[in-house]
Structure 1
Amino acid sequence: MFNTRVTQLLGIQYPIIQGGMAWVATHELAAAVSEAGGLGIIAAGNAPGDFVRNEIRALKKKTDKPFGVNIMLLSPFVEDVVDIVCQEGVPVVTTGAGNPGKYLDRFREKGIKVIPVVPSVALAKRLEKQGVDAFIVEGTEAGGHIGELTTMALVPQVCDAVDLPVIAAGGIADGRGFIAALALGAEGVQVGTRFVCSTEAKVHSSYKDALINAKDRDAIVTGRTTGHPVRVIKNQFTREFLEMEKNGASVEELEAAGAGKLRLAVVDGDIDNGSVMSGQIAGMIKDIKSCRDIIEGMVQEALTSNERINQLSGGGLDG
């Protein structure tokens, strides 16, 4: 059941990809996920090229397993990061916040697999024609920057529209979500928020506590008026930000208010005044585990869920 086109494409044991979360997805986390059989991802975010190079080299000292780098295409350092990814022999690139088309030839020359994050059928169809290798189809349940369609609605529509492997993202934290994504037609899952609460994530303990203590309705959306909505845990910062939006603050004013707030939460641990990005599944997280325990737990729970489907219907996902 777990031997899919995604595991074959990436050379990994389980079709579980770690999300490329800025300030969270460091080499420590990525290496741990890769060692546990998934695909670890280093987040380039808005970091300069030299920082990304150092992260790649540090990861290689911890694991010889496949890994990837997430490139945010709106980063001011994107050209440098693309150069470094090509120079350092990174096997997989995931992309967000744009179309990676202009870089595809360079990635192909280096044998790099390219998997863009897509929030719509239209973008998936366009990128398939441009020659990407797979898609991460992300629903609005995800943390951080989000689209509008839910994972359950978006994933099967993209699966029906393209021939490439689809990796479902947004609202997946355990084996039940894993098996549900496979049932929707995906051949793998991307997991973000659950990995924040791992022992290997170099995140301030207060940030992890905020996720563990979150309830089902605590992950809200800010920034809709800017055209770049973000899902975060509600706190003093979100109350002030939403009030600014309500009072008609300009995009520039809102961007200035949000500048540096993710780092404030992740690194400094200020969970009242920082941006605590999180998916809607935060209410499901009750503990901090190693990446290996998280992945193996997801796999075992997916198998158990499939057995239950077999009992109820006379045949699970594998017949």
Structure 2
Amino acid sequence: MERKIALYTEVCDLLHIKYPIIQGGMAWVAEHNLAAGVSEAGGLGIIAAGNATADIVRNEIRQVKEKTSNPFGVNIMLLSPHAEEIARLVIEEKVPVVTTGAGNPEKFLKDWKAAGITVIPVVASVALAKRMERSGADALVAEGCEAGGHIGELTTMALIPQIADAVSIPVIAAGGIGDGRGLAAILMLGAKGAQIGTRFVVSHESIVHDNYKKRIISSKDIDTTVTGRSTGHPVRSLRNNMTRNYLKLEEDGKSFEELELLTLGSLRKSVMEGDITDGSVMAGQIAGLIAKEQSCKEIIEEMVSEAITVMQKGWI
């Protein structure tokens, strides 16, 4: 008799979503169109606040609400000069879920929890995972260094089971997950859901420039590189003229300020203007696996179907 497997986990209950898949909070990419597309497809769409002002984020939140009645979230980059305003804004706008990155959200947790917001910090170590659980986080996104954008040092394969063993709240895996096999694998490692970034970048709903999407689709397994290790802020992107120049400056021992000048506005340049030569084309190592542009619905349903098939056949 064929064993029936349902991909419904504690994360689905916690977030009131159909599938245990959330979308990464990618600056300049994760705006209302993508967030609404993912939420409508049964996952959890996320608006990336990035360095945007509270007024811009408020407008994004309201546009998501116009497009879907399903749950969604806002990712707050805690190093943003507008982080405190946006921390208050998500309460005012009754945002159901907040994810956080680039800092410690402890000072906001009490107010968010009092407002009924589900809080999910992004972590890259066991120590931070434990601290976030003690502080009252509802779940965690544990991100391995295969991910695109800002990364830690541990791989997803090593990080997920260690964090899953260390905390009792649900763990959502991120980094290197691009199809149903990856989704099945992280569930076997102890995660209760997946955060997907790079594959959603090439969705129909994504507003990124076609040049950016085509660069991801045409990439090979070895096409990403990491810049910024010398500054303590490593970032994974697809190789291009900008990354080559950056790595050469790092090799020459240039200062943080000189390196920052090279990357100033570079992500916007690639996402909005399509400059994939001198812009920052952030993408995870999974980019080499992505071969086509699809809707968010097609991406999610294909991943879930494949994960169930893999587990039923005992390939894992």
| Short-chain TM bin | over 0.9
Q: Partner of 1:146 in structure 2?
A: 151
Question: Is 1:121 aligned to 2:122, yes or no?
Answer: no
1:52 corresponds, among 57, 60, 63, to 57
SS at match of 1:33: helix
SS at match of 2:273: coil
SS at match of 2:225: strand
2:246 corresponds, among 241, 245, 249, to 241
Please give the per-residue CA displacement for 1:281-315, whole angstroms capped at 9, x wherever unaligned: 00001110000000000011001101221xx6xxx
2:217 corresponds, among 199, 212, 224, to 212
SS at match of 1:301: helix
SS at match of 1:267: helix
Superposition RMSD on alpha carbons, in Å? Answer: 0.8
Which 5+ residue runs of structure 1 have no aligned equivalent?
none
Please give the per-residue CA displacement for 1:111-149, whole angstroms capped at 9, x wherever unaligned: 000000000000000111110000000000000000000
Which 5+ residue runs of structure 2 have no aligned equivalent?
1-5
Question: Is 1:76 aligned to 2:84, yes or no?
Answer: no
Deviation at 1:256, TM superposition (A): 1.7
2:168 corresponds, among 135, 160, 163, to 163
1:135 corresponds, among 134, 137, 140, to 140
Question: Is 1:39 aligned to 2:48, yes or no?
Answer: no
Structure-2 separation of matches of 1:30 and 1:182 = 23
Structure-2 separation of matches of 1:197 and 1:105 = 36
1:306 corresponds, among 292, 297, 311, to 311
Identity of aligned residues (%): 62
Q: Partner of 2:194 in structure 1?
A: 189
Question: Is 1:9 aligned to 2:3, yes or no?
Answer: no
Structure-2 separation of matches of 1:250 and 1:188 = 39
CA contact (8 A) 2:7 2:308 kept: no
Task: With the length of structure 2 as denominator, give the TM-score of the two structures.
Answer: 0.97
Structure-2 separation of matches of 1:244 and 1:117 = 30
Residue correspondences, number: 311
Deviation at 1:252, TM superposition (A): 1.2
Task: With the length of structure 1 as denominator, give the TM-score of the two structures.
Answer: 0.97
Please give the per-residue CA displacement for 1:176-233, whole angstroms capped at 9, x wherever unaligned: 0000000000000000000000000001000001101111000110010010000000
SS at match of 2:199: helix
